[in-house]
């Protein structure tokens, strides 16, 4: 995964997507259902401004179903059609063509009224690295597509992949957008879900952040998994979070000589469990928290 998003890289990525937008009828914006705002590119509304768009919450198999519903409503209130899918299993991916058709109904009607037999809808999948773009393309295509030129700066011939019986055509190269790095909370959430590499932030810090978030929102899930007795009195006190991490380390046998907790090992256990869905279905951010709404000011 390439996370070296220098300004030049971003400009190139943006230009590549804008060139592709000329070829398509609808953009499919892929977000991680566990962190729908943090996995959003900060300029996506600007980049996709003039294109019909379907928002797809991917990895919904790992997210909290109630929270996913709340996010679907949140985006609906902003005027977007939003659906949740699991690209690994293929759950709900058939809705992509169905909903695209509804979004593009005026386009269909215009063609029919001109006596033209509507051609297949053309779509581009866009999203930040690791959100599941290739997995979704492969699932929709029903086979493994060799993705060419899927890194910024690499341009190669593109092909249309016919999916869902030919009524939808996808560009074989997804549009890769950069994540929003500027905000610390966003950075940690991206790291917790594995969207950015652990080397960028220290694994202990990432797990600390995950534990803190989960204590607040999913205490009983965390307590069940790691046999924790009682939540900290003050979740804002870092020492209390560290104590919970120590308890987790002890339960999972992450102990070094002298009985001390191996925090690196404990952290990697926690993150592995989270990413594999072993802690249950968890969504790290909710629409009503209203914390990371991208405003025009954020973009500058």
- Binding to ligand G4P (CB under 6 A): which residues in 99-118? none
* Nearer to ligand G4P (CB atom), residue 111 or residue 158: 158
Closest approach of Cβ 29 to ligand G4P, in Å? 12
Between 26 and 137, whose beta carbon lies closer to ligand G4P?
Answer: 137
Closer residue to ligand G4P, CB minimum distance, 56 or 245: 56
Secondary structure (H, E, C), the chain = CCCCCCHHHHHHHHHHHHHHHCCCCEEEEEEECCCCCCCCCCCHHHHCCCCCEEEEEECCCCCCHHHHHHHHHHHHHCCCEEEECECCCCECCCHHHHHHHHHCHHHHHHHHHCCCCCCCEEEEEEECCCCCHHHHHHHHHCCCCCCCCCCCCCCCCCCEEEEHHHCEEEECCCEECCCCCCCHHHHHHHHHCCCCCCCCCCHHHHHHHHHHHHHHHHHHHHHHHHCCCCCCCCCCCHHHHHHHHHHHHHHCCCEEHHHEECHHHHHHHHHHHHHCCCCCCCCCCCHHHCCCCCCHHHHC
In the bound state, the residue with its beta carbon closest to ligand G4P is: 132
237-296 residues near ligand G4P, rule: CB under 6 A: none
For ligand G4P, the binding residue among 39, 68, 99, 130 (CB under 6 A) is 130
Contact of 39 with 33, CB cutoff 8 Å: no
Tell which residue, 21, 22, 40, has the closest CA to residue 30. 40
Of 62 and 203, which CB lies nearer to ligand G4P in the complex structure?
A: 62
129 touches ligand G4P by CB under 6 A: yes
CA 245 to chain centre: 26
- Please report whether residue 36 would count as binding ligand G4P according to CB under 6 A: no
Q: How many C-alpha atoms does 19 have within 13 Å on its Cβ side?
A: 15
Instruction: Tell me: does residue 148 bind ligand G4P (CB under 6 A).
Output: no
Contact 151, 133 (CB under 8 A): no
Cα(90)–Cα(264) distance, integer angstroms: 34
If you search the block for the tokens 């205490």, which residue do you land on? 219
Q: Can residue 34 be called a binding residue for ligand G4P (CB under 6 A)?
A: no
Stretch that binds ligand G4P, among 94-102, 125-133, 233-241, 260-268 (CB under 6 A): 125-133
- Is residue 179 a contact point for ligand G4P (CB under 6 A)? no
- Candidate residues 87, 173, 193, 266; the one interacting with ligand G4P per rule CB under 6 A: 87
CB of 235 to ligand G4P, least distance (A): 28
Total number of residues binding ligand G4P (CB under 6 A)? Answer: 15
Residue choice 135, 164, 193, 281 for contact with ligand G4P (CB under 6 A): 135
131 binds ligand G4P (CB under 6 A): yes
* Residue from 81, 111, 134, 158 in contact with ligand G4P (CB under 6 A): 134
* For ligand G4P, the closer CB: 163 or 244: 163
Which residues inside 46-75 make contact with ligand G4P, applying CB under 6 A? 58-59, 61-62
Does position 132 interact with ligand G4P (CB under 6 A)? The reply is yes
Residue 127 Cβ, how far from ligand G4P at the closest point, in Å?
A: 6
What is the C-alpha R_g of the chain? 21
Stretch that binds ligand G4P, among 42-50, 82-90, 162-170, 199-207 (CB under 6 A): 82-90
Site of interaction with ligand G4P (CB under 6 A): 58-59, 61-62, 86-88, 127, 129-135
């Amino acid at each position: 995964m390439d996370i070296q998003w220098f300004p030049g890289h971003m400009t190139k990525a943006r230009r590549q997507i804008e060139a592709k937008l000329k070829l398509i009828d609808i953009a499919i914006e892929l977000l991680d259902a566990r962190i729908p705002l943090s996995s959003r590119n900060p300029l996506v509304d600007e980049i996709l401004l003039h294109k019909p768009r379907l928002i797809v919450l991917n990895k919904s198999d790992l997210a909290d179903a109630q929270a996913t519903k709340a996010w679907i409503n949140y985006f609906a209130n902003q005027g977007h059609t939003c659906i949740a899918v699991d690209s690994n299993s293929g759950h709900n991916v058939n809705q992509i063509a169905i909903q695209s058709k509804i979004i593009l109904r005026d386009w269909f009607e215009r063609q029919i009224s001109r006596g033209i037999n509507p051609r297949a809808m053309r779509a581009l999948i866009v999203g930040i690295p690791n959100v599941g773009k290739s997995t979704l393309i492969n699932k929709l295509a029903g086979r493994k597509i060799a993705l060419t030129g899927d890194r910024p700066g690499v341009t190669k011939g593109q092909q249309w992949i016919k999916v869902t019986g030919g009524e939808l055509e996808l560009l074989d190269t997804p549009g890769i957008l950069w994540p929003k790095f500027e905000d610390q909370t966003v950075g940690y959430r991206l790291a917790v879900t594995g969207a950015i590499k652990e080397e960028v932030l220290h694994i202990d810090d990432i797990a600390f952040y995950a534990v803190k978030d989960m204590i607040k929102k999913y205490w009983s899930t965390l307590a069940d998994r790691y046999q924790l007795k009682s939540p900290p009195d003050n979740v804002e006190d870092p020492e209390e979070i560290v104590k919970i991490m120590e308890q987790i380390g002890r339960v999972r046998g992450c102990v070094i000589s002298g009985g001390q907790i191996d925090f690196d090992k404990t952290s990697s256990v926690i993150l592995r469990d989270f990413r594999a869905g072993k802690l249950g279905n968890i969504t790290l951010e909710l629409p009503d928290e209203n914390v990371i709404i991208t405003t025009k000011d954020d973009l500058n």
